[in-house]
Amino acid sequence: MDGRMGELMDPEARVRAYIAEGNFPSGAKLPPERQLTEELNLSRTNLRKALDALERDGLIWRHVGKGTFVSDDATSRAPSNATIELGRQITPFRMMRARLAIEPAIAREAAVNASGETLTRMARAIERAKAATTWNEYEIQDDLFHRAVAEASDNLLLLALFNQLNEVRRAVAWGNVSRDSAHPSPNHSSFVEHDAIFAAISLRDPTEAYDAMRRHLGSVAKRLFGEV
């Protein structure tokens, strides 16, 4: 990145350009924050704000204790060909059944292994989801909440399974969901359900975390399909 051009960019744009110009492939680990602050001439606060924004946009994801990684969306917003093909072969109902089979177990592990940082990330996603003024904003925070639960499991294999499941979910749901309002209502059922999942994980209650996640996904399935 040209030094003078970099100085004219806002922090988020600098990090975006750094990723693009560095040709970081999907799944690549970014340098540590100390190195990024030096290379991009940013304060630690501004760097973290930029990384938060890129994570909300789905361009990066972070794993506590492991680092910051480039997501598939950093190079393309569209699902991969393999994901699209799988999305064509599976119905939304089957997709939800897969989530019901996997995500409660991830929540159970999160209750055992969650760090303070992942709990903070869950709480932040919950707060921002409740403040969302559009469904798109809500869905970004909903995704970040569920991803934070997966990260809290402290198990890279479970996180990889979640990422694959989530990518297929986006492909399956493409164009299938209609909304009756411009944004979630204050009494949107997922708000209370996310609070319950977060509370169970915070209290280190694996059984309740499993049950709370299953109730939540069952509620989503009922809204979408009228049955679980």
Say if CB 130 and CB 122 are below 8 A apart: no
In this predicted structure, what is the pLDDT of residue 178? Answer: 61
CB-CB neighbours of 15 under 10 Å? 25
In this prediction the pTM is: 0.68
For every residue of 25-94, DSSP letters joined together read PTTPBPPPHHHHHHHHT--HHHHHHHHHHHHHTTSEEEETTTEEEE-GGGT-SSPPHHHHHHHHHS-HHH
Cα(129)–Cα(37) distance, rounded to whole angstroms? 29
Phi and psi at residue 226, to the nearest 5°: 80, 5
Tens digit of pLDDT for each residue in 31-54? 999 999 988 888 999 899 889 888
pLDDT value at residue 7 = 44
**Residue 216 clears pLDDT 90, i.e. is over it:** yes
> Where do you find CATH 1.10.10.10 in the chain?
3-74
Q: What is the pLDDT of residues 105-143, one digit of tens each?
A: 999 999 999 999 899 989 999 998 999 888 878 887 898
Check whether 168 has a pLDDT greater than 60: yes
pLDDT digits (tens, 9 = 90+) for 183-195: 888 889 999 999 9
Pick the CATH number of 81-225 from 1.20.120.530, 1.10.286.10, 1.10.10.10, 3.40.1190.20: 1.20.120.530
Question: For residue range 57-87, what is the model confidence (pLDDT) as tens digits?
Answer: 778 888 777 889 887 655 444 455 676 677 7
Residue 41 — left, alpha, or beta (φ > 0 → left; ψ -120 to 50 → alpha)? left
Fold of 3-74: Arc Repressor Mutant, subunit A (1.10.10)
Q: What letter represents residue 195's amino acid?
A: D
Query: Cα angle at 172 between 55 and 201, to 5 degrees?
Result: 50
For residue 160, CA distances in Å to 90, 112, 132, 156 come to: 20, 19, 28, 6
Q: Strands, DSSP E only, in 51-201?
A: 60-63, 67-70
The segment(s) of the chain belonging to CATH 1.20.120.530 are: 81-225
Q: Name the pLDDT band for 179 (thresholds 50, 70, 90).
A: low
CA angle at 225 for the pair 224 and 228, rounded to the nearest 5°? 110
Residue 4: what pLDDT? 36
